[in-house]
Structure 1
C-alpha cells in the first residue's frame, strides 16, 4: 500500500481538561489537524492552536452531524480520521501511516465505564474524504456506509474513550443535552435509529420503563440486522434491570436463535439465569460466550469487553461455586488471570473461592499464572484489602511496600499494633470518607477489649441513637437484649463475624453469639460459617423464624450444610421443607444432584422442573 495523507477532524467545546491528551496521541499519525470549536469559554482554542493553525468557529445548532461535516469541508487530505476530545488513539505500530487503500475502516473503541470495565464497539472512524461520506444524525451521528458494495477493513489500533465516566458526564451536563437533542430528533424523525438512541439515553439515566417503551418502537421499525441485534439486547437488559427475569429469558432465548453469535446476548442471558438459580442454563450461556469469543468475535460490532473471555470465565466460576465445585471455579479464575493478570476483580473472586486459604498455598497457586512484580503486589493487596483478608499483612511485608491511609489502618489492625491503628484513625478522623472506618473501629474495640476509640469517634459515623446504644452494648459485653436491627447494623454484624473468622478469633465469636438473639442474626452468622467451611457450627446456631420467606432461606442453608458433611437424607428433608414454601429450581436441582444414581427419583424431579417457568433448555434436553 502507498502512503496517503490523513486529516484529523474534531469538533470541540470547553475541552481544556482533555484536548491536549487527545492531540498528543494523534499528532504523529496525521498530516493535518482540523479543529472546529462550537462555543468554548475556556482555554480550548488556545490549546488547539498549539497543534494547528486550522482552528475554526461554528455556531452550535444542537446538531453534531452539521458540525462534523463543516470540519470535513476544511480538510485537504485523502482520508479523514475522526476523534473526540475525550478520546486518545493507541497506534504504537503506526498502522495509520503504513498506508490506507479501502473506502473506510473501523477502529475498535474501548468505552470506559464507572464499574472499571469497558464496552467495546467498532465504528467507521477512518474514511475517504469524498462527498458521499458525510455525517447524518443530530446525536450519535454516523457516516452512511454500505458493507456489501464498499471496501472496508478493521484497523488493529484502538481508541480509548472516557466520556461515559460519570464525572465527565456531569462535567459537561451531557445527560440533559443529549435527552433534549434526542427527543427533538425523534419527534421530527421517529426512525428505528433515533428511538434506539433515545432508549439508550433513558437507560443511562436508569429510567428502564421509559427505555423499554421506546426500544420496542425501535424494534418495530428496524430494518438493519446489526441494529436489530443491538435493540433486542438492550430490551433484554431493561427487563433484567426491572427484575422481569422470566420475560428477559424468554426474549433472550428467542433472540439467540436469530443472533447465535451475539456475545452480549449470551452473557446477559447467563446473568438472567443466575438470578432464577438456573445454574446449568447459565453455565451453557457463559461457555457459549467463550466459544463466540474464539470463533466469531469480529461479528460483534458492540459488546462488553471481557464478556468473550475473562468475564465469561469469572461468571462460569460463579456457576461452579453454586454447583459446589470450587476446584472448577478456581481453575476458571486462574485461566482468567492469565488473560488479565492485574485485574483486581478477578483476583478478589479467586480469593473469595477460598476465603481461608493460607499464605503459602495462595502463593503456590498464584505463582504459575501471576508472577508477583510490584504492580501485581499492589493489585493483590488491593483485593485483600477489599476482602479484609489478614493475608494482607504477609503480602505487604513480603513486597516491602509502604502503605498509608485505610490500607495502613487494616494492616496494623490485623497485625495487632493497636496503638498504630489509633494513630492512623486520628489522622483520618476529619476526612470525608471516615465513615468507612466504622468496621475498623468496632473490630479494634472487640480485639483490644477497649471501646474508648468508638466512644470518642461515634459521632463521626452518622449512626442513630439506637444503633450507637446497641454497638456500645456489644463492645462492652453488656446484657444482650432483643432488638430490631437496622439494615446498617446487619451489614456491620456480618462483617464483624467474617473478620473474626478470618482472624481465627473463635473465643470472640462465642461471645458474639450471645448477642445473636434474633433468628436473622443467627442466620447471618451461620451463613458466614458455611462460607468458611464450619458446617456443624453453622447447624448448631441456625434457628427458624416467624416468616415463611425467611424460613425458606434457613432450610436451604441447613440442607447445604448437611450435604457438605455427608448427611444426605437430612439434607433432602430440609430441601423438601423449603419446597413447601417455594417450589424453586434451586431446591429441585440440588435434590436431583443428591439422588445420584436413583434414576427414578431423578426423573420425577426432572418432571417437576419441567413445570417451572421460565423454560429451561437444560432440563428439557436432559
Structure 2
C-alpha cells in the first residue's frame, strides 16, 4: 500500500452537504470510496465529480455492514471515516499526514478524534464536543461492528487506541437537518431489532428520544446507561450532562440541581456546571445568584486547569457564549446598560458572524452615542477593509433603520464594488424612502428562497407608499412560522378596502406587530399610526405587545406611555405590570414596584419567578406571607430546593 489515507463513506440522499464534505478533504486523502445505499437525488452524481470509486449497496438496516463494504475497497494504509454532513478544517491536512506517516500501519490502531456537533447555525460557533474513532489502520482484523452507532473493533482482542486533535465538524443534528432526514425515527427502528443492549446503546437511545423531545423515555435510557462500568467510558460525562438537560426541560429542578452539585464535585475545574446551575437559578427567579455563577464560569474558562489549555468538559459554549449572553440579558433586565454593552461586545468580538448579537449591541449604542463614536467602536472589532465585514455591518444597519450608519457602510461597499442583494436593495429603499428604487429591484428579489422576509418588505412598502398593486408580488413562504399566502392577501385587501370586509377581519397579531415595529424603526410614524388605527378592535392587544417590545429594547419612555394608557383603560397585561414593577424596583421605589408586581402575579399566577422577585424585595408583611403561601401551594416541587427553602424560611 503506497497510498497513505483513504476516505470511506456511506451516503444516501446527501446532495445538500456532500460537496462541502468532499471539498474539505482535498489534500488530506489519497482516495475517496463512496458507498451509496439507495439515493434518489443527485448524491451519486456529486460523488462522481470527486472520485471514480462510487458503489451501490443494498441497505439492510445495518450501518456496520455498509461501512465495512466501503472499508474493504480501500487501498491506503489508513482509513478515515466521515459522514456526508461532516467536514474537516483544511488547515490541518499537513499535520495529519505527517502524524500518520510516523505511525506503524501494520499494527492495529484506532485513533480517537474530537467531533464538534453544531447546535445552531454553522457560523454560530456553538457546539457540543464528542469523540469517536474515525481513523484506524487498514487491516482485515480491524472493522466495524453493531448495526447502529457502530464501533471500530479488533478481531483478536481490544483495539489499541490513541488520540489525535483532528477537528471534525458535524451539522447533522441541527434541527432543520434532522427534520428533513428523520434520523431519529430511522435509528429507533434499527434499535428495535438489536439484542443484548449495553451502556453505550442505552446512552444513544436516550439521545434519540431527547431529540424527539420524549424526555421521559430519554431520562429512562440515560439512567440505564449509568452503571459502574460507564464511569470508565468516554460517554460518562456526556451522559450525566444529558440527564441534567432533560431534567431542566422537564422542570424537575430539584433533581437537576442534585446532579449539578454532584458534577461540580467531580469536575470543579470546568465552567460547564456553573453555567448550568445558573440557568436553573434563572428559571427559578434567582437572577442575582445566577449572575455570580455565570461570572464564575467565565473565570474558570479563563484559567484552564489542564496542560492542553482545554477549559471545558462538555462544550466551550458553557464557558463562553452562554454565560456571556445570559449576563448581557440579566444586566439589561436590571437596566445596567454599561455591563450589557460590555458583555455584548465580548460576544461580537468572539463571533463577528452573529448578526443577532450585533443587532442587540447597536440597538443599545445607536440611541445613546454619536454615530462617530459608534463607528470608532465598531472599527476596533471589524475590519472596514473586508468585504464580508462591510456587508454584515450594512445589513444590520439596515435592520436597525439608522440612516447615518446605512449611508456610511453603503458608501464603503460602493467604493469596494460590493453590490447589495436584491432584498437589501428593497430594505435600503424603504429606509431612505425611495419608491423608485424599490420598484426597480422588486421583480429580481422574488428569485431568492427567503420569501417570508420579502413578503414583509412588500407589505411595508405598500403601507408606506399606499401601493395596493404590490400584492401581486406576495408569494408562499416555506417557513411554517410565517402567515399563509391566503392570510397575507386577505390582510392586504383589508387594509385598502376595509368597507368590503365583514366584521371578522383576517388578522395575525404577531405579524402586524412586527410591521408596526419596523415602521417605527424606520421613522415612518404617520404610517405607524395609520396601520394601528386600521385595527381598533385589536388595539389593546397590539398596545400590550408594543409596550413590551419598547421596554425590552430600552425605549422606556415609549413603553411607559403605552403602559399608562393601558392602565387607564384597565387593559394592561401581566408582563406589562411586571415590567413596570421592575422599573420601580430598580429605581428604589419599592412600595410602588411591589404593588405592580402583585397585579402581575394575579394576572399570571403561573410565573413562578415573579413570586421570588416579590419575596426578595418585600419587607416582612402579611402580604409577603400570603405570596409565600401561594408559592408553596402552586409550586410545591420547588419548595425543597435549598435556595428556595432559604428564602421561604420564616414565612408562614
Q: Specify the TM-score bucket, using the shorter chain as the normaliser.
A: 0.7 to 0.9
Q: CA 1:39 to 1:69, structure 2 compared with 1: closer, same or farther past 3 Å? A: closer
Match of 1:10 in 2: 8
Which residues in structure 2 correspond to 1:328-477 (within 5 Å)? 328-354=339-365, 356=367, 359-372=371-384, 373-385=386-398, 391-400=405-414, 401-428=418-445, 433-448=450-465, 450=466, 452-453=468-469, 462=484
Per-residue CA shift, 1:519-565, capped at 9, x if unaligned?
A: 33221222233332325424432337889xx7432321222344577
Q: Does 1:326 align with 2:332?
A: no
Match of 1:542 in 2: 566
**1:135 aligned counterpart, secondary structure:** strand
**1:111 aligned counterpart, secondary structure:** strand
TM value normalised by structure 1 = 0.77
**2:151 aligned counterpart, secondary structure:** coil
Q: CA 1:468 to 1:95, structure 2 compared with 1: closer, same or farther past 3 Å? A: closer
Q: CA 1:618 to 1:104, structure 2 compared with 1: closer, same or farther past 3 Å? A: farther
**2:383 aligned counterpart, secondary structure:** coil
Q: Does 1:525 align with 2:538?
A: no
Per-residue CA shift, 1:4-23, capped at 9, x if unaligned?
A: 98432514245784666545
Match of 2:512 in 1: 493
Which residues in structure 2 correspond to 1:50-61 (within 5 Å)? 60-61=59-60
Q: CA 1:209 to 1:589, structure 2 compared with 1: closer, same or farther past 3 Å? A: closer
Match of 1:159 in 2: 168
**1:371 aligned counterpart, secondary structure:** coil
Per-residue CA shift, 1:54-96, capped at 9, x if unaligned?
A: x777765433334445655666766543333443332525112
Cα distance in 2 for residues equivalent to 1:125 and 1:459? 45
Match of 2:33 in 1: 35
Question: Aligned match of 1:217 in 215, 224, 227?
Answer: 224
Q: What's the offset of the Cα at 1:315?
A: 2.5
Indicate the larger mover: 278-287 or 335-344.
278-287
Q: What's the offset of the Cα at 1:49?
A: 10
Q: What's the offset of the Cα at 1:289?
A: 4.0
Cα distance in 1 for residues equivalent to 2:397 and 2:288? 30
Q: CA 1:560 to 1:38, structure 2 compared with 1: closer, same or farther past 3 Å? A: closer
**2:163 aligned counterpart, secondary structure:** strand
Match of 2:64 in 1: 65
Cα distance in 2 for residues equivalent to 1:451 and 1:143? 64
Q: What's the offset of the Cα at 1:207?
A: 3.9
Match of 2:152 in 1: 143
Q: What's the offset of the Cα at 1:169?
A: 5.3
Q: Does 1:111 align with 2:111?
A: no
Q: Does 1:577 align with 2:599?
A: yes
Q: Is the 8 A contact 1:119 1:303 kept in 2?
A: yes
**1:190 aligned counterpart, secondary structure:** coil
Which residues in structure 2 correspond to 1:529-608 (within 5 Å)? 529-530=550-551, 531=553, 532-534=555-557, 535-543=559-567, 551-562=573-584, 569-579=591-601, 582=605, 586-587=609-610
Per-residue CA shift, 1:377-404, capped at 9, x if unaligned?
A: 2223343455666544543334324223
Per-residue CA shift, 1:261-301, capped at 9, x if unaligned?
A: 66665555544444444323443453344345442587789
Q: Which runs of 5+ in 1 are unaligned?
A: none
Q: Is the 8 A contact 2:463 2:531 kept in 1?
A: no
Which residues in structure 2 correspond to 1:42-53 (within 5 Å)? 44=44
Q: What's the offset of the Cα at 1:307?
A: 3.5
Q: CA 1:584 to 1:619, structure 2 compared with 1: closer, same or farther past 3 Å? A: farther
Q: Is the 8 A contact 1:543 1:554 kept in 2?
A: no
Q: Does 1:98 align with 2:98?
A: yes
Per-residue CA shift, 1:497-536, capped at 9, x if unaligned?
A: 3224323455555566655654332212222333323254
Q: CA 1:509 to 1:77, structure 2 compared with 1: closer, same or farther past 3 Å? A: closer
Match of 1:233 in 2: 241
Q: CA 1:573 to 1:313, structure 2 compared with 1: closer, same or farther past 3 Å? A: same
Indicate the larger mover: 393-402 or 258-267.
258-267
Q: Is the 8 A contact 1:36 1:67 kept in 2?
A: no
Cα distance in 1 for residues equivalent to 2:8 and 2:617? 63
Q: What's the offset of the Cα at 1:314?
A: 2.0
Q: CA 1:426 to 1:588, structure 2 compared with 1: closer, same or farther past 3 Å? A: same
Q: Is the 8 A contact 1:412 1:421 kept in 2?
A: yes
Match of 2:328 in 1: 317
**1:189 aligned counterpart, secondary structure:** coil
Q: What's the offset of the Cα at 1:588?
A: 5.6
Per-residue CA shift, 1:207-226, capped at 9, x if unaligned?
A: 44443443343336862354
Cα distance in 2 for residues equivalent to 1:128 and 1:240? 42
Aligned length: 600
**2:149 aligned counterpart, secondary structure:** coil
Cα distance in 2 for residues equivalent to 1:324 and 1:83? 48
Indicate the larger mover: 378-387 or 511-520.
511-520
Indicate the larger mover: 56-65 or 322-331.
56-65
Q: Which runs of 5+ in 2 are unaligned?
A: 477-482
Indicate the larger mover: 63-72 or 135-144.
63-72
**1:12 aligned counterpart, secondary structure:** strand
Q: What's the offset of the Cα at 1:407?
A: 1.7
